[in-house]
Structure 1
Amino acid sequence: MTSAVPTHAAGGTDAAAPITMFGPDFPFAYDDYVKHPDGIGSIPAAAYGTRVAIIGGGLSGMLAARELLRMGLQPVVYEADQIGGRMRSVPFEGHEDVVAEMGSMRFPPSSTTLFHYLDEMGLETTPFPNPLAESTPSTVVDLKGETHFARTLADLPPVYTEVAEAWTRALEEHAELRPLQDAIRARDHVKLKEIWNDLIRRYDDETFYGFLARSSSFQSFRLREIFGQVGFGTGGWDTDYPNSILEILRVVLTAADDHHQGVVGGSQQLPVRLWERPVEGAVHWPAGTSVQSVHEGGRTHPAVAALRRTDAGGFEITDAEGRTDTFEAVVYTAQVWMLLNTINSDDRLLPIDHWTAVERTHYMGSSKVFVLVDRPFWKDMDPATGREVMSMTLTDRMSRGTYLLDQGEGKPGLICLSYTWSDDSLKLLPLDAEARMDLMLKSLAEIYPGVDIRSHVIAPPQTVTWESERAFMGAFKANLPGHYRYQERLYSHFMQDRLAPEFRGLFLAGDDVSWTAGWAEGAVTTALNAVWGVMHQFGGSTAAANPGPGDVFDEIAPLVLGD
């Protein structure tokens, strides 16, 4: 079998090589795969023009549609709302050139496959102002009524450095941080899986909080409390405390929480451009063909109301307008819970163990509140302190995380007043946009008593709570302890030769089946898995010099835990 990744000898790690989201569960070099001059695969000419249903018009669905069209198939996209999914960039009334990122808003450079498509679609990125990031002018940490201003970690009281060092020690002593990252840098999938699979066996039943509490460096409750409320990278971690520690380790090991970039003009541009722009090098289709152009009227089909298998081995889809169509293959990228409630689903769609995995999927909730202001006034200097009047803010008050987003010279300023998760998000659920803004302004007034943010607001606030969105029911999947087996089933579903023939033809993709939920890289890579699966179903193959994820699956497959 041709190896998908180079194997390096022990001790041969290049310390200058970047950390990428290479594994650890399935260490396949998707970034190299999509850049290869031989392409990611082809199908027999007899299959050209065959229609494949794509359920969900988010990043994963748009990417799958585009790559299937490139192979010569005809994607048929069903979308309940708008193209983009949780890449939702909402303009402000009267200021359409400024957008609030209601879902995905920051992307780590370690997401190298995602950045391939950002580059291909001609999108620019800019550093995102996370707390204490190099691109962030200043950060304010406000806990238990005490406010601290900082430009670097060293400016905060010593206890914060103690927390940061405790986290690093916990990772090094109990999670093999450095050997794993060395293996990721070297793309040594043998060593990576050897270490990671041992961690799966040790920690599948462990919560994030339990991992901290059992480490020698976090014996102090005070340190665990501060880490939960403030943390490092993107902010506090306490809303993740009940989740599996494996979920957190995947983020940390692959640098998914570091050096974030935002998309200039809004992240929703990526799925929209994947939909609208002609697909270069597409076989079968005339030059200039796009995913949009193969849809009647240039529009997606409406929401899926029913999804069933036919006796002939295909699929029957009925949309919200009552139209029924049949397909030989379906790529499903929407939230998997929709198969349990909003879509009338045939029990024969999945094997029973996969249905159990769908039912056990656990979602993290999230809310955001944005306001548009007349200018980036937070850059004004307070003559009494010599500091900016406002900073990127982390607090234990209701606002939790506040981000100041400079739109450029001569443009209005944008403030994410609040970015909250899980229980903190639910506290906002009953409130409308104005009430949420009022609550956050009250919270921030306690931290910045001399700053009248409200006087600068020039448009109605924009807000979202993802758990109340009918087509989402949460921001992203987050496994609980003991859920590894469910995740392995869903992720590996694209390898359908392992399934009984009556369960083939439906391919799961998107955030819910990704190992790195909440990060767009997972939506991209699972889409590529599904594309490989559809290609394989129609008798296609990859080039010998560029094997796909299914070609090398047995070599690097996720660990299968026993009873």
Structure 2
Amino acid sequence: MTLTAFGPDFTFAYDAWLQHPAGLGQLPPDMHGTSVAVIGAGAAGIVAAYELMRLGLRPIVYEAGKFGGRLRSERFEGAEDIIAELGGMRFPRSSTAFWHYLDRVGLQTEAFPNPLTPAAGSTVIDLEGEKHFARTLADLPPLYAEVARAYDAALEEGANFAALRAAVIARDADAVKAIWDPLVHDWDERTFYDFVASSKAFRGLSFRHREVFGQVGFGTGGWDSDFPNSMLEILRVNLLGLDDDQQLVVGGVGQMPKRLWGDAPACTHWPAGTSLASLNGGATRGRVCTLERDDAGGDIRVTDRWGRRDHYKAVVVTCQSHLLTTSIRTEERLFDQKLWMALDRTRYMQAAKTFVMVDRPFWKDTDPVTGQPLMSMTLTDRITRGTYLFDNGPDRPAVICLSYAWMTDALKVLPHSAEKRVDLALQALGAIYPGVDIASHIRGEPICVSWESDENFLGAFKGALPGHYRYNHRMYGHFMQDAMPEEQRGIFLAGDGISWTPAWVEGAVQTALNAVSGVLRHLGGQHDPLNPGPADRWARHGPVCLP
């Protein structure tokens, strides 16, 4: 068996549920064709809409900004298929529910050029002005291997890591919960940095070791931006292999929601050839301005920016939670006040990327002095933090992500134009690669993003702080509505910010499927006994409740 994103908070096999021949469930015939609103056309919204359509419902999709949400592949002007991945760009193989849809629409992947991987070719680590060239960890000074071993030892010491991962791989739900649930009690109120600094493995090392760990980290690079986060969030990343064996989507991941939009699967009720596009008249509706309860019929009224008002028996909300108080006038009684607390306290992290298109993968040229490539995948403490190189073939334009930065480093460039961001990045890289004229290779205009300045996001992804487990539990479990008062039923939350694994599209997909389970039951349907759904497994395998 292989490692998948199975649990650990809710040990439910979403990929197996999706692939079962019995399907996800059945609705009463009189519910077939019922309209359900889906707010947001990102990964969660489109997956939820797609599966609701297959059940025989009519999803009506609303989108305030760009189709695809944070699966945003931006094309460079003047080039047919050269893209910058502004949102999700690297996808771990363990994300099997997400891969279900990649395979469904026929998209291909290849290894992502992460540091010290064969796909990167070579890596340069530049810290405090000291530069190291490496192809593998063994090429770096001994301190780096000491840091790697210390973190592995800290995971084993603090989380019984080998046994926990073995239980996840075996999909032994009870064994996973037996180890994980006590960790929730132990680590909810402690930070990632606390975990590292207080471990026996790191206590025997220097501050420099912890500093290098923060700058270089594990898997994809530096993690010091996450040092204030709850350690539970980082444990999930390690445990589920989310930072390992990552792939990129050839041609851009933004193709996935677009292809699902036009895909015509076999559906209950709907004739052959039905797609989300055809059920929505070929286009999504616009920004949602108001969500409120209709006292007369009990339905939920959705009003869009053009004043169109429609009534729905169920609504799936996939936008970031802060938009429910800043962009959408949401009637307070739709959610319990404790849930409002959780939604409002969600903390979103900042992230910025700066991309340029270049004439060719010139970085592969050999430096006549060193015998090394002119440039490599680069991790640094300078303003760029992470620089990634994307080769589209020897005779085609290539792409450089000059800078991928988070939190404070992302805020440093927030007020600046794209051109200024490129200038700052070139200055930093010029200090690492003196004599390499990157600018002479740039073609067209740069592409940049700062997610915190986008009115439809207000941040890139959730970063749970210590003490936020209870909030996350409320949001993630919101699809279980049997005990709720009538006025709070029928509206369902989804998206990676609702999940336990923010910043990973697998979390968005899994919460979308939870919402589908919730809508199905809300409308009087049920899961097939041969293929129990999330709602059926919740009581036994759901998240532990903290006092």
One-letter amino acid of the structure 2 residue matched with residue 271 of structure 1: P
What SS class does the counterpart of residue 252 from structure 2 fall into? coil
Give the conservation status (yes or no) of the 8 Å contact 2:360–2:394: no
- Consecutive unaligned residues in structure 2, runs of 5 or more: none
State the secondary structure of the residue aligned to 1:117.
Answer: helix
User: Please, which of 150, 158, 163 is the counterpart of residue 174 of structure 1?
Assistant: 158
Alignment map for 1:127-138 (pairs within 5 Å) = 127-138=111-122
Assess if the C-alpha contact under 8 Å between 2:358 and 2:443 holds in 1: yes
Quote the Cα distance in structure 2 between the aligned partners of 1:328 and 1:465: 36
1:483 matches 2:468: yes
Deviation at 1:223, TM superposition (A): 1.1
Question: Do 1:307 and 1:318's aligned partners in 2 also have CA atoms closer than 8 Å?
Answer: yes
Q: Tell me if 1:254 matches 2:232.
A: no
Q: How does 1:399-418 map to 2 (within 5 A)?
A: 399-418=384-403
1:357 matched residue in structure 2: 342
Q: Which residue of 1 aligns with 2:327?
A: 342
In structure 2, the partner of 1:10 is none
**CA separation in 1, counterparts of 2:429 and 2:530?**
56
- Residue identity matched to 1:303: R
> Is 2:356 aligned against 1:371?
yes
Pairing 1:372-387 to 2, within 5 Å after superposition? 372-387=357-372
More displaced 10-residue stretch of structure 1: 308-317 or 149-158: 308-317
Which position in structure 1 is the counterpart of 2:426?
441
Residues 307, 315 of structure 1: 8 Å contact kept? yes
The residue number in structure 2 matching 1:148 is 132
Q: Pick from 82, 96, 120 the counterpart of residue 98 of structure 1.
A: 82
Partner of 2:258: 272
Structure 2: which amino acid aligns with 1:503? Answer: Q
CA offset at residue 409 of structure 1? 3.8
CA apart distance, 1:134: 2.8
**1:383: how far off?**
2.0
Larger mean CA deviation between 404-413 and 62-71 belongs to 404-413
Q: Deviations over 1:496-517 (max 9, x none)?
A: 1121222100000111110111
How far apart in 2 are the matches of 1:499 and 1:136?
51
- Match among 233, 241, 246 for residue 227 of structure 2: 241
Counterpart CA distance in 2 for 1:257 and 1:395 is: 19
Give the CA deviation at 1:216.
1.5
Cα distance in structure 1, aligned partners of 2:64 and 2:354: 24
Query: Counterpart of 1:12?
Result: none
Matched, 1:497 2:449: no
> Contact 1:68–1:75 (CA<8 Å) still a contact in 2?
yes
> Is 2:514 the counterpart of 1:529?
yes
Report how far residue 321 of structure 1 moved: 1.1
| Letter of the structure 2 residue corresponding to residue 241 of structure 1 | F
- 1:7 corresponds in structure 2 to none
What SS does structure 1 have at the residue aligned with 2:286?
coil
Is the contact between residue 367 and residue 464 of structure 1 (CA under 8 Å) also seen in structure 2?
Answer: yes
- Counterpart of 1:204, as a letter, is D
So what's the TM-score if we normalise by structure 2?
0.99
How far is the alpha carbon of 1:387 from its aligned partner? Answer: 1.2
Instruction: Provide Cα deviations, 1:492-541, integer angstroms capped at 9, x if missing partner.
Output: 00001121222100000111110111111011110000001111111111
2:36 aligns with 52
TM-superposed deviation, 1:339:
0.4
Structure 2 Cα separation of the partners of residues 261 and 408 of structure 1: 17
Question: Which SS does the other structure have where 1:551 is aligned?
Answer: helix
Which moves more between the two structures, 107-116 or 406-415? 406-415
- Quote the Cα distance in structure 1 between the aligned partners of 2:80 and 2:306: 31
**Structure 1 unaligned regions, length at least 5:** 1-16
Q: Map of 1:152-301 to 2, 5 A cutoff?
A: 152-219=136-203, 220-278=206-264, 280-296=265-281, 298-301=282-285
**1:487 deviation in Å?**
0.3
1:4 alignment counterpart: none
SS in 1 for 2:154: helix
| CA contact 1:133–1:259 (8 Å) conserved in 2 | no
| Structure 2 CA distance for aligned equivalents of residues 330 and 159 of structure 1 | 53
RMSD: 0.8
How far off its partner does 1:222 sit? 1.2
Aligned twin of 1:325 = 310
Contact 2:351–2:406 (Cα < 8 Å) also in 1:
yes
Name the % identity.
Answer: 56
Partners of 1:154 and 1:288 in 2: CA distance: 55
Give aligned pairs, total: 544
Equivalence for 1:5: none
The CA deviation string for residues 294-349 of structure 1, in whole angstroms up to 9 with x for no partner, is: 113x1100000111111122111111111111111000001011001111110011
Match of 2:491 among 496, 506, 515: 506
Question: What CA distance in whole angstroms lies between the structure 1 residues aligned with 2:207 and 2:478?
Answer: 41
Q: How far is 1:391 from its partner?
A: 0.3
The runs of at least 4 consecutive aligned structure 1 residues that moved more than 4 Å come to none
What is the match of residue 414 of structure 2?
429
2:383 alignment partner in structure 1: 398
Paired residue secondary structure (1:498): coil
Q: Distance in 1 between matches of 2:157 and 2:256?
A: 40
- Answer whether contact 2:361 2:394 (CA < 8 A) is retained: no
Q: Does 1:315 align with 2:305?
A: no
Shift of 1:80: 0.4
How many angstroms apart in 2 are the aligned matches of 1:554 and 1:403? 44
How far did 1:81 drift? 1.1
- Partners of 1:131 and 1:232 within 8 A in 2: no
Equivalences for 1:59-74 in 2 at 5 Å?
Answer: 59-74=43-58
Residues in 2 aligned to 1:409 and 1:439: alpha-carbon distance in whole angstroms: 28
Give, in angstroms, the shift of residue 408 of structure 1.
Answer: 2.2
One-letter amino acid of the structure 2 residue matched with residue 182 of structure 1: A
> What secondary structure does 1:459 align onto?
strand
CA contact (8 A) 2:124 2:379 kept: yes
Please list, as runs of the form range in 1=range in 2, the aligned pairs for 1:77-92 lying within 5 A after superposition.
77-92=61-76
Aligned twin of 2:543: 558
Residue identity opposite 1:83 in structure 2: F
How far does residue 463 in structure 1 lie from its aligned partner after superposition?
Answer: 0.1
Matched position secondary structure for 2:84: strand
- Per-residue deviation, residues 79-105 of structure 1 (Å, max 9, x unmatched): 001210000000011013111000000
Q: Is the 8 A contact 2:293 2:487 kept in 1?
A: no
